[in-house]
Amino acid sequence: MARIVRVGTRGSALAMRQAEEVTTALKKIHTSVTTEIRIVETLGDRRTSVPIEMIPGSGRFTRTLEERLVEGCIDLAVHSAKDLPWKLLEGLTIGAIPAREDPRDALISTGGNGIDKLPQACRIGTGSPRRVAQLLRHRKDLIPVPLRGNLDTRLRRLEYGEMDAIIVGMAGLIRMGWESVVGEIMDPVVMMPAAGQGALIVEARERDEEILELIRPLDHEDSHVTVEAERSVLSYLEAGCGLPIGVLALAEDSTVVLRGTLLSSDGSLFSSAQVSGRKHDGARLGKKLAKRLLRKGGKGIVEAWTKESRE
């Protein structure tokens, strides 16, 4: 008898594409498995007119999915790794991290220019405090414009002339087949990605051994190692989505190099650091990087952000 696996996902075109990517891979490995995609609307999906950092609580795009997973309404949930908080809902675990797509950010502009060739006082759409802070650090003349919504919605707003350029994740454009619109794939030195950006996380109940066994072959070793290292930085700092922090790990042979950038909201304060170590020691590396960021000026940034977020 075929096993039916209920897969939870958000309902955007990109989220559906990501869920289909996982289900297709799962069915190739297990030919007796049948999948059923179930759309779950999250708090972040419902409150699209509010800046993401103004929505209370964590997991704006993932918590409802996690709740449905705990309740048994779905068997696994597919998340964009960057959206999943460092602390999972009790009883859940990361079952697999498939091969990661390009983690970098992409700039799309009406004139096709890169960041350094944009006109003075150019309006750039982004809903990310991380991107805003790094933009202002690189060019103080740029004008960040609040931008939320699905990827296709963001592209339409650019097309309609509401802004001069937007910044989005390169991975989403690749998954949707829209790479041709990219003006510049941004150097992480200028625009450090969010922790986990470009990767998917397949989350399951930690005691559901049958599902965990089914999805284990989806796991990609280097992607798991790098995402784990990046998420461990957030865990040590207890960072929420409003903290302007970028983290990127690269695995090569038996080594991982982990870089991070921590900024004030306007980019005027800045802490940057790099660590390296053994490939399977991601949690320790993340803690080491977080401590180094704090020592190099990040402590004051985190304290100010914590105070602001509580007011």
Identify the CATH assignment for 1-98+199-219 out of 1.10.540.10, 3.40.190.10, 3.20.20.70, 3.40.50.1950. Answer: 3.40.190.10
Q: Report how far residue 170's alpha carbon sits from residue 199's, in angstroms, rounded to the nearest whole number.
A: 11
Please list the pLDDT of the chain residue by residue as tens digits (311 residues): 468 999 999 999 999 999 999 999 999 999 999 999 999 987 766 555 555 555 445 667 899 999 999 999 999 999 999 999 999 999 999 999 999 999 999 999 998 889 999 999 999 999 899 999 999 999 999 999 999 888 999 999 999 999 999 999 999 999 999 999 999 999 999 999 999 999 999 999 999 999 999 999 999 999 999 999 999 999 999 887 789 999 999 998 899 999 999 999 999 999 999 999 998 888 899 999 999 999 999 999 998 888 776 65
Cα separation, 168 vs 252, whole angstroms: 26
User: What is 221-311's CATH superfamily?
Assistant: Porphobilinogen deaminase, C-terminal domain (3.30.160.40)
Q: What is the pLDDT of residue 2?
A: 63
Q: What local confidence, expressed as pLDDT, does residue 1 receive?
A: 43
Domain with CATH 3.40.190.10 in the chain: 1-98+199-219, 105-185
Find out if CATH 3.40.190.10 is the number for domain 105-185: yes
Q: What is the pLDDT of residue 60?
A: 76
Q: What is the pLDDT of residue 46?
A: 58
Contact 163, 125 (CB under 8 A): yes
pLDDT at 236: 93
* 75: annotated active-site residue: no
- Per annotation, catalytic residue among 83, 102, 105, 208: 83
Tell me which residue has tokens 């709740």.
Answer: 67
Indicate the length of the chain as a whole number.
311
Spatial CB neighbours of 183, under 8 Å, sequence gap ≥ 6: 106, 107, 108, 109, 111, 112, 113, 114, 165
